[in-house]
Structure 1
């Protein structure tokens, strides 16, 4: 039985409200700044209510190529980032799902050795293997391409481990029943494992999409053409060393545009995301 403690609930709600304000206020302040001209932003204090430049600033940020990054519109840069994030998310999930499936349900020599080889790569993030990976991409001629931006980031030891742990909980009776019914490996994967894994896939999709959306170091190295920049790189290029040369209204508007897609993905998939983290449906 849960005791009714009004004072405890009041304290808990107060802490939650303070936490929400601390997290949300910088985002709100950024949105407010995106509705004012640069002169107002550089002349504090900035009002806490939206200004009258909302449509103008966001229109310039999205379509004003000459005022954005190297004559490339922010619409194109957002498209690049969306393609990269989706490709990384789908690629990570597909490769990890198939590798975990092979490790758990197939019997072949050195099966666990290969698994531990995959697992050890957790100690080798992109930053550690950046030079050889970059050299491979250069040799393959993939600079300034979507393949160069995404393929090196698709492998994921973490996702492979999570899928493997989930597949190990699938009852042997289910596997035997599928075999008796004449289900081959591909049919077993498609008709049984994928439906069972949908919450895990959703949770990993949210995590890997945000991972791909916020990439900075790898896109910075692999792109020379401004038309292939991602949103994080574009934001950095929009900021000059001196405040007077930076169009802060466009920077703030672009920051809000950069935040929106990950927020939409999290909000749209939050139910599946939570279920994928805390439940195991079988």
Structure 2
């Protein structure tokens, strides 16, 4: 895979003229976006309260803040080739400082090797991002709920305005998450926080793995997933799989960080450079909604 092809940005001539004529000001121009206050639905708040009845709320709130900071600062993992190169460079640095150490016995050699490995690992942890996927067990699923649910709901509502309106009648909704516990929590929330209640929404199904069939869907959403994947190849393969299951719209949502921006651009360039007519598409919205060519 390659993502070297970059789209050409063509500014609006009228905007350029207005900039030259100093019509726009730093605090007053068409690019200003004033987000509105978004209120979480009462039904969702009630469902969350019901789910958390038997759990330590204070601990969940504090752990939710920690998780939110972690996710905000998360970066994609180093590729294996980059990691090997970094490890070799650090090892050479460590060895250069130990070049005068005398080795008289095999035991001395083993101790030296252990010392070098320990120092290399310590330096790598300090100087390079130590990527790890988050294990969303039952507790961490609740931590995510407390730390991110409100912010993500607000973000998605704001992202749909102005200028982007997707009017779709959803007869079938398939929700996929590698964590069984996250799927269970999502279902319980749709049951008003009581696992014994029936869901008011019909046609909602949960899966741990993507379907192997070639069935295509009108709307496919990848939300806060790509930075949890272990490599660039894994990200591209996952998105290609999703794109092949897209009938109309593919929506990519990631953290509003530099790492999230870079990953989204990586995916955008990968899809847009597709030469196959059957998989061609174009940008439907600058908030990164891809639309298949009709």
Pick the TM interval, shorter chain: under 0.3
User: What TM-score, normalized by structure 2, do the two folds share?
Assistant: 0.24
Query: Whose strand proportion is higher, 1 or 2?
Result: 2
Choose between structure 1 and 2 for higher RCO, CA contacts under 8 A separated by at least 6 residues: 1
Query: Whose helix proportion is higher, 1 or 2?
Result: 1
User: What TM-score, normalized by structure 1, do the two folds share?
Assistant: 0.24
